[in-house]
Amino acid sequence: MGWGNKRLNEAAAVCAAQFPAIGLGWWIKGQLGDDYAYGGAYGAFAVFALACLLAVAPLVLPVFGLAHALLQVLPAEALAHRVAGRLRGPVWAWHLLLASLLGVIWAVIALLLWDWPFTTTAPLFAVLGVFPVLGLGWLRRRTRGFWGIWLPALFASVGLFLLVFVGGVLATVTGILEEYEPPKLSAAQLAGEWHGSDGAVLRLRPGGEAELTALPAETEPADSETDPPFAVCDGTATWQPDAKGGNDPYTDGPEGRPGVVVRPTAGCGRQTYWRIGGTAAAPELFVPFGDPDAPDVRILKRVR
């Protein structure tokens, strides 16, 4: 099956229509997650970034839509016509199934090349093929010409965006979506090995001893803007859990965020408070070094 200009235009339009709603949903999900101590500055930046994306959307969405159509929707349609001719059944049903399967294949490729989480990307990439398939069926029967293709896609895009927005507001008001809270970890759950993406390793031993490998630690305030806001330490340390966050230097009250106090013993760096983040299933430790308004956040993830 050939892809003429009209078919490419249709596929690009229906693919582009869903991206604003997906972006809004992703943004809402991010707002309900851990802000890693960015606080209001993070929220303001996120709103600014969202506004910028909406402003340039008319320029970039057609490009994203065409790329998505060529990588998933149109190849699935070509396969659907062949499969339907041999195994029978409606072409649109085969198109829907094959577009979803092709999305899962792209999720596998993303896992192998960039280590993207398969359990998250596979359902997302599969769903990305559903709306375009349904939209192409509607366009095939009802529209002609450039504006006859892109105007319905525009209206559908606005409708999907509003639907996600209203759904997010209602879910927040009714308590279906709750504000993020860090997991509560005991000393036994904290003990183990934590790794950072930059090679940092923190081994918390039962009993309060720790081993450091290229681990960031608090230092005296930097003398200039070019000096790093932390020291990189190797050696040993002591540690203790702080369930009430009394050692949290980033809070104004008597209690802060639960975390771990790490005190290097080799003269490298000062006492550093690692906040607990992530989830109970995938806990994290992090420190926002430097300027509170634009911190350099270092994150450690539990390995074992």
Contact between 257 and 241 under an 8 Å Cβ cutoff? The reply is no
Strands 296-302 and 192-196: antiparallel
Question: For the chain, how big is the Rg over CA atoms in Å?
Answer: 25
Q: Is 185 left (phi over 0), alpha (psi -120 to 50) or beta?
A: beta
pLDDT at residue 238 in the model: 96
Contact between 188 and 206 under an 8 Å Cβ cutoff? The reply is yes
Half-sphere exposure of 4 (CA within 13 A, CB side): 1
pLDDT at residue 38 in the model: 54
Low-confidence ranges of the chain (pLDDT < 70): 1-4, 30-33, 35, 37-57, 139-144, 221-227, 252-254, 293
Question: Can you spell out the DSSP letters for 29-41?
Answer: HHHTS--TT-THH
pTM for the structure as a whole: 0.59
User: Tokens 């906040």 identify what position?
Assistant: 275
| Cβ neighbours of 67 (radius 10 Å) | 13
**How long, in residues, is the chain?**
304
Alpha helices by DSSP H, the chain: 5-17, 19-31, 40-68, 74-87, 91-114, 118-127, 130-142, 146-173, 187-190
Distance CA 249, CA 256 (A): 8
pLDDT at residue 196 in the model: 92
pLDDT at residue 41 in the model: 45
User: Tokens 């949290």 identify what position?
Assistant: 248
